[in-house]
Amino acid sequence: SLSSRSREDIQRVCASRDQRILVTGAAGFIGFHASLALRRQGYAVVGIDNFNPYYPVSLKLNREALLLDQYIPVVRADITDLKVIQGIFTACAFSHVLHLAAQPGVRYAMRHPFTYINSNIIGSTVMLEVLKSMDVKPMFVYASSSSVYGLSKRLPFSEGDRADTPASLYAATKRSQELLTHAYCNCFGISATGLRFFTVYGPWGRPDMAVMSFARNILIGRDIRVFLGPNNTTLSRDFTYIDDIVNGILRSIATAPSSQSGSVSHRIFNLGNSVVVNVLDMVKILENYLGRRARISFISRINGGEVLVTNANITLAASSLGYTPNTNISAGLQQFVKWFLKYTRSAEHDDMLRYIPD
Ligand code: NAD
């Protein structure tokens, strides 16, 4: 159960504020940035994270240190632990929950399916179970993913499109999370907003994802592996800069879902940039900012459940939330590279250069 030290930390942080938010996955890439932004907006922020070693834990610990500087404690626990989650909600009456903790990554899921089932399905259900038992329910905002559109050929992806052809186990768990949330909203009067993020990148980003692992390999002169699809086409992504994603998160938290009588209070929005960028163009921009050429080795088959193209229709998020991404790929990668060079220059953080995604 929750340690008395954690309980005191939470109570101290929550005492003085009207708006109190629990952020799951706070030591992760998006959770870190969202927590800082919420704090700047005056929220009391409490984080929870299990600091799992899917990618170097040093990066999560460094994010945690910066959160602590802003009086954001991060409870070290697993969201599948019902007792701990109950303890956290007993320590503080949160007005909001931002649920970002998950096992991400499309390829890793091939060999570690139960990690995804545990964190993404069981962990999310634990969060919903605890909300279900509360009289005054906090507003629930959670991370979904563009991957739920799966093998859909219709572009751009719109929220009303069918999402029943997942290409990966990861996508299947994120879609399951959406469906479970919908049922909990219907049965127990929970209000939820699901956000389907599209390939997020930026400073303090994920070292397992293409942007950072390509930057790393270009820097140290190792080959980058670029997947080829049918007809030797390379993959394209709707790359979205972290500040734009955080903006969309803040706007979803600030706008309560409409509770028309008879309708389920569950909204889902795409949060993307709405611009398709081929990975080879992304590599060119990285080469330019890093001042080095990439050595590319083409892998002649997409495996691990990657889809060829993603593209977000963001008109719903624009009209309902006022969401307008305003960072193009070039400006975003410039910010990323600036951070990446500074971070990896420190000998303390050179584990990031040695890291090879599983
Ligand atoms: P991340 O891995 O950096 O952050 C997730 C954090 O959750 C990690 O710090 C991890 O330690 C923690 N965590 C995982 N399982 C946990 C558990 N069982 N209990 C407690 N903590 C746990 O990933 P991210 O990119 O910041 O992703 C955040 C959310 O956004 C995830 O739900 C992910 O599925 C979703 N998402 C991300 C992207 C992207 O491009 N980054 C795209 C689509 C969706």
Number of neighbours of residue 342 by Cβ within 10 angstroms: 11
- Residue 113 confidence (pLDDT) above 80: yes
The number of distinct structural domains making up the chain is 2
Q: Is residue 317 assigned to a domain?
A: no
Write the residue with the smallest CA distance to atom 39 of ligand 1. Answer: 200
The CATH code of the domain that includes 297 is: 3.90.25.10
Cβ of 62 less than 6 Å from ligand 1: no
Q: What is the pLDDT of residues 23-69, one digit of tens each?
A: 999 999 999 999 999 999 999 999 999 999 999 999 999 999 999 99
ipTM value for the complex: 1.00
pLDDT value of position 287: 98
- The answer to whether residues 7 and 91 touch, using CB atoms and an 8 Å cutoff, is yes
Cβ of 101 less than 6 Å from ligand 1: yes
Based on the fold, state whether residues 116 and 46 are members of the same structural domain: yes
Helix (H, G, I), strand (E, B) or coil at 296: strand
Based on the fold, state whether residues 301 and 160 are members of the same structural domain: no
Based on the fold, state whether residues 34 and 177 are members of the same structural domain: yes
pLDDT value of position 260: 57
Q: Is residue 56 assigned to a domain?
A: yes
Q: What is the pLDDT of residues 221-257, one digit of tens each?
A: 999 999 888 888 999 999 999 999 999 999 999 987 7
Which one, of 185, 123, 177, 181, lies nearest residue 147 by Cα? 177
CA–CA gap between residue 202 and residue 64 (Å, rounded): 17
Distance 262 CA to ligand 1 centre (A): 33
Based on the fold, state whether residues 122 and 58 are members of the same structural domain: yes
Q: What is the pLDDT of residues 154-202, one digit of tens each?
A: 999 999 999 999 999 999 999 999 999 999 999 999 999 999 999 999 9
Q: Is residue 322 assigned to a domain?
A: no
Instruction: Please report the atom of ligand 1 found closest to the CA of residue 27.
Output: 9
Number of neighbours of residue 4 by Cβ within 10 angstroms: 9
Q: Is residue 187 assigned to a domain?
A: yes
Instruction: Please report the atom of ligand 1 found closest to the CA of residue 174.
Output: 34
Based on the fold, state whether residues 169 and 214 are members of the same structural domain: no
Active site (catalytic) residues: 170
Across 80-94, 206-220, 335-349, least confident range: 335-349
Based on the fold, state whether residues 292 and 158 are members of the same structural domain: no
Confidence class for position 300, pLDDT limits 50, 70, 90: confident
Between helix 279-290 and helix 329-345 the angle, nearest 10°, is 50
- Residue 259 confidence (pLDDT) above 80: no
**Distance of alpha carbon 130 from its chain centroid, rounded?**
22
| CA geometry: angle 43, 339, 357, nearest 5 deg | 95
Q: Is residue 186 assigned to a domain?
A: yes
H-run or E-run covering 320:
helix 315-321
Burial class from Cβ neighbours inside 10 Å (0-12, 13-18, 19+) for residue 69 reads: exposed
- Residue 337 confidence (pLDDT) above 70: yes
Cβ of 125 less than 6 Å from ligand 1: no
Which residues span the domain enclosing 217?
210-237+274-310+327-354
pLDDT value of position 131: 97
The CATH code of the domain that includes 68 is: 3.40.50.720
| Inter-CA distances, 219 with 62, 151, 154, 345, Å | 22, 34, 37, 11
Based on the fold, state whether residues 231 and 139 are members of the same structural domain: no
Between helix 123-132 and helix 169-188 the angle, nearest 10°, is 10
CA–CA gap between residue 23 and residue 99 (Å, rounded): 6
Cβ of 197 less than 6 Å from ligand 1: yes
Torsion sign over Cα 129, 130, 134, 140:
negative
